DNA sequence: CTGAAAGCGCTAACAT
DNA sequence: ATGTTAGCGCTTTCAG
């Protein structure tokens, strides 16, 4: 229709830098493309170039607002570069490293965003022999170069600093399993904030909670039993653990924030739903997802060899679960 | 390696029914496939068959547990049939019907699962001229044959019946926007339950809330102001609206469930996080997603022409936000 | 500055 | 009971 060979069209549409095309020819092609509503056939392009122009993202739980934020970002980052995002749900309970193979070996994806890493060793081995680039998102692992994370350490530190600024000194931490990178970082941030403020670390104030509401509830009970009211604030490793703790405190008749201030990690709409609305630490999850997708595409297309990045930004969103320590109105006064 | 033509391999692997192959040959092929780790190249297959073996799913908000459940199901349904699932996030605020074209015209997907339908008319028009099959999930629309939904009506009815069984008669409804199919159904279910129990419908007890916590909170305040305590239970159109209502009630000093019982629609982990944990109606969202994906694939592959299905199953999950009406312990007694 | 030709890996119609 | 053949629609040398 434009009176040119399809190869010329291909070069023009592909943005071939070496192509030296007459303006008039370009116009004719553009008009024909518009008139025909021409869209390149991705399958043919994939076959020819041996690339799928899709990324895969593995996630353990779609419910978790942390992952939905990451996905939202990743989808944007992919779309910006003309890629699609393919989700691969990987049950945290039964993680199966063959999922990677399915996606890659069928040439369905050119690279993987990995947010899951239970059985770290097995999965890393599977990923490495994969022959496709991958980047860890919100995770770090030994021997893996490509990794983008948020500032778990700084976020935890900021949370605890906020509590300290409110006058709290007896600050407990509902921690995560130390085998997890994020949990370790947050514990370190907690300790760093205490140390900088000259507050001695009391190991009894750190209780491990898993990532369920029940875990948070149990941990909060342990805290109340063993610490005999000698704490006025709690920094919880996740929002879910914080919610569980809130329930345990309510059950014991404590008022939040009058008796105990509570802060959780990761902001989301759910924080507004809790009672009281939960003060949280917000980190740029969506931005991280977007960036990770962009960086992975850079690696795929050879513009970059590796990527390590930490998004340092943290922000404490104060809601009604935290309040300044006031004598007579909290646990400290009662001991 | 197996000493046969690739077309034979193709037919065997593709499960060609007309193929009459010797057991010995089949063995040789199987061995070679295993030895070589052979995987069909999806791009070539797509080019040849003009199909992508992927489905697209459009969603407005990934955070919403309703959609994450649907996605989880859809991904399974797709995977079961060897398809992948491609997510297309479509901002509810700025829905863009071109997303459909992008996915379909680039031959990236063979069909669409549609959970978004703001600007119904425009979007339906875009979908219909698409030339690719689509099925509405958790939605119905006039003139669309393919649609799979859950039992919004029955779920709402069951919720209200549970309250009635607990002795409540003054039951309010925080409703959704009646332009939405789901909201309309739930309102109808509410009314049907009242009617069957011989309880007169009081229009003042129905207050429209949007789907935000704020909306639920505002609606609950309106209810308290206009109804002058003449209600003892609330059925909210969503979990989020219920959470907002809980906050409004707490703020006014009401105890839940002693003063007011609250039920929300759609169960999810978040229900456990609320205070008190929220009684909800559970409908089989994940199953619906899975089924919708399977049915869409059936349509794509010509085994079926259309699909309309309602998952009738509903279940009220009783948690601590509901309690039997007891004289002297609730609003009725106080009027 | 543009065209011609080859071929990516598969499937399906047609042969034997 | 299996092989032959002809493309699917693109990109990429290589020619002119």
What Å value separates CA B10 and C1' C10?
8
Per-residue pLDDT, averaged over B187-194, amounts to: 98
Cβ of B11 near strand C (under 7 Å)? The reply is: yes
As a whole number of angstroms, the distance between CA A196 and CA A93 comes to: 39
The residue ranking higher by pLDDT, A189 or A120, is A189
Closest residue to D5 by CA to C1' distance?
Answer: B7
- Comparing A232-236, B164-168, B180-184, B315-319, which segment has the lowest mean pLDDT? B180-184
Cβ of B13 near strand C (under 7 Å)? The reply is: yes
Q: What is the pLDDT of residue B23?
A: 85
The residue ranking higher by pLDDT, B332 or A249, is A249
Distance from chain centroid for Cα A307: 16
Cβ burial of B28 (10 Å; 0-12, 13-18, 19+) is: middle
Q: What is the pLDDT of residue A335?
A: 37
CB atoms within 10 A of CB B95: 16
Q: What is the pLDDT of residue B332?
A: 44
Helix (H, G, I), strand (E, B) or coil at B105: helix
pLDDT higher than 90, residue B173: yes
What Å value separates CA B8 and C1' C16?
15
- Phi/psi of residue B226, nearest 5 degrees: -80, -30
Per-residue pLDDT, averaged over B61-69, amounts to: 87
Q: pLDDT tens digit string along A251-285?
A: 898 999 999 999 999 999 899 999 899 999 999 99
Q: Do A85 and B84 touch (CB under 8 A)?
A: no
Per-chain mean pLDDT for chain A: 90
| Structure confidence at residue A327 as a pLDDT band (50, 70, 90) | low
As ranges, strand D nucleotides with an atom below 7 A of a protein CB are: 1-5, 7-13
pLDDT higher than 80, residue A5: yes
B50 contacts in A (CB within 8 Å)?
43
Quote the pTM value. 0.89
Distances (CA, A) of A325 to A178, A191, A262, A285: 30, 20, 12, 31
- Among A36, A44, A61, A63, the strongest candidate for a mutation testing the B interface, having the largest count of B CBs within 10 A, is A63
Q: pLDDT tens digit string along B16-43?
A: 777 778 888 888 888 888 888 888 888 9
Cβ of B21 near strand D (under 7 Å)? The reply is: yes
What Å value separates CA A55 and C1' D2?
39
A296, A284 contact by CB (below 8 A): no
The residue ranking higher by pLDDT, B165 or B211, is B165
Please report, in angstroms and rounded to a whole number, the separation of the first and last CA atoms in chain B. 87
| Phi/psi-derived region of residue B141, left when phi > 0, alpha when psi is between -120 and 50, beta in every other case | beta
Q: Do A86 and B86 touch (CB under 8 A)?
A: yes
Q: What is the pLDDT of residue B116?
A: 84
Q: What is the pLDDT of residue A275?
A: 87
Please report, in angstroms and rounded to a whole number, the separation of the first and last CA atoms in chain A. 87
Domains of chain A: 6-39 (no CATH), 51-150+284-313 (3.40.50.2300), 152-282 (3.40.50.2300)
Per-chain mean pLDDT for chain B: 90
Cβ of B19 near strand D (under 7 Å)? The reply is: yes
| Number of residues assigned to chain A | 335
Which residues make beta-bridge pairs with A113? A57, A135
Q: Chain B: residue nearest A217 by CA?
A: B273
CA-based torsion, B279, B252, B186, B196: positive or negative: positive
pLDDT higher than 50, residue A332: no
Q: Calculate what percentage of chain A has a pLDDT beyond 70.
A: 96
Q: Chain B: residue nearest A41 by CA?
A: B106
Q: pLDDT tens digit string along B101-151?
A: 877 877 789 999 999 877 778 888 888 888 889 999 999 998 899 999 999
CA-based torsion, B288, B290, B295, B296: positive or negative: positive
Q: pLDDT tens digit string along B83-99?
A: 999 988 887 777 677 77
B46 contacts in A (CB within 8 Å)?
42-43, 46-47
What Å value separates CA A48 and C1' C6?
12
Q: pLDDT tens digit string along B275-316?
A: 899 999 999 999 999 999 999 999 999 899 999 999 999 999
Per-residue pLDDT, averaged over B68-82, amounts to: 92
Q: Do A273 and B270 touch (CB under 8 A)?
A: yes
Residue A194 in tokens: 């205490």
Per-residue pLDDT, averaged over A94-103, amounts to: 76
Q: What is the pLDDT of residue B19?
A: 75
Q: pLDDT tens digit string along A104-126?
A: 877 789 999 999 877 778 888 88
As a whole number of angstroms, the distance between CA A214 and CA B230 comes to: 36
Cβ of A177 near strand C (under 7 Å)? The reply is: no
As ranges, strand C nucleotides with an atom below 7 A of a protein CB are: 1-5, 7-13
As a whole number of angstroms, the distance between CA A45 and CA A29 comes to: 19
Proportion of chain B in helix, strand, coil states, percent, rounded to 5? 45, 15, 40
Cβ of B4 near strand D (under 7 Å)? The reply is: yes
The residue ranking higher by pLDDT, B208 or B118, is B208
Q: What is the pLDDT of residue B138?
A: 95
As a whole number of angstroms, the distance between CA B297 and CA B85 comes to: 12
* Residue closest to B180 by CA, chosen among B148, B235, B138: B138
- Tokens 């040849």 correspond to B48
Q: Do B75 and A88 touch (CB under 8 A)?
A: yes
């Amino acid at each position: 229709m434009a009176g040119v060979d399809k190869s010329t069209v291909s070069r023009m549409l592909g943005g071939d830098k070496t192509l030296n095309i007459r303006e008039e020819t370009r116009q004719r092609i553009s008009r024909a493309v518009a008139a025909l509503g021409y869209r390149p056939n991705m399958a043919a392009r994939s076959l020819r170039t041996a690339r799928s122009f899709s990324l895969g993202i593995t996630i353990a739980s779609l419910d978790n607002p942390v992952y939905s934020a990451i996905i939202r970002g990743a989808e944007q980052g992919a779309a910006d570069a003309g890629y699609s995002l393919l989700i691969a749900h990987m049950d945290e309970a039964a993680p199966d490293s063959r999922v990677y193979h399915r996606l890659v070996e069928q040439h369905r994806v050119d690279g993987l965003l990995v947010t899951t890493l239970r059985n770290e060793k097995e999965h890393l081995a599977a990923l490495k022999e994969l022959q496709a680039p991958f980047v860890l998102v919100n995770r770090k692992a030994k021997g893996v170069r490509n990794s983008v994370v948020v500032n778990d350490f700084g976020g935890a530190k900021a949370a605890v600093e906020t509590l300290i600024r409110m006058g709290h000194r007896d600050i407990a931490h509902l921690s995560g399993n130390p085998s997890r990178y994020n949990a370790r970082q947050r514990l370190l941030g907690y300790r760093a904030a205490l140390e900088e403020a000259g507050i001695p670390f009391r190991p009894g104030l750190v209780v491990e909670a898993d990532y369920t509401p029940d875990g948070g509830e149990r941990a909060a009970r342990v805290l109340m039993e063993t610490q005999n009211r000698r704490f006025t604030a709690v920094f919880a490793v996740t929002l879910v653990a914080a919610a569980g703790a809130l329930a345990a405190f309510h059950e014991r008749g404590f008022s939040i924030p009058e008796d105990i201030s509570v802060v959780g990690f990761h902001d989301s709409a759910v924080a507004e739903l809790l009672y009281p609305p939960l003060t949280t630490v917000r980190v740029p999850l969506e931005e991280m997802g977007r960036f990770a997708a962009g960086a992975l595409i850079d690696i795929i297309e050879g513009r970059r060899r590796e990527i390590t990045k930490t998004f340092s930004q943290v922000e404490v969103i104060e809601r009604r679960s935290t309040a300044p320590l006031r004598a007579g109105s909290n646990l400290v006064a009662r001991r």
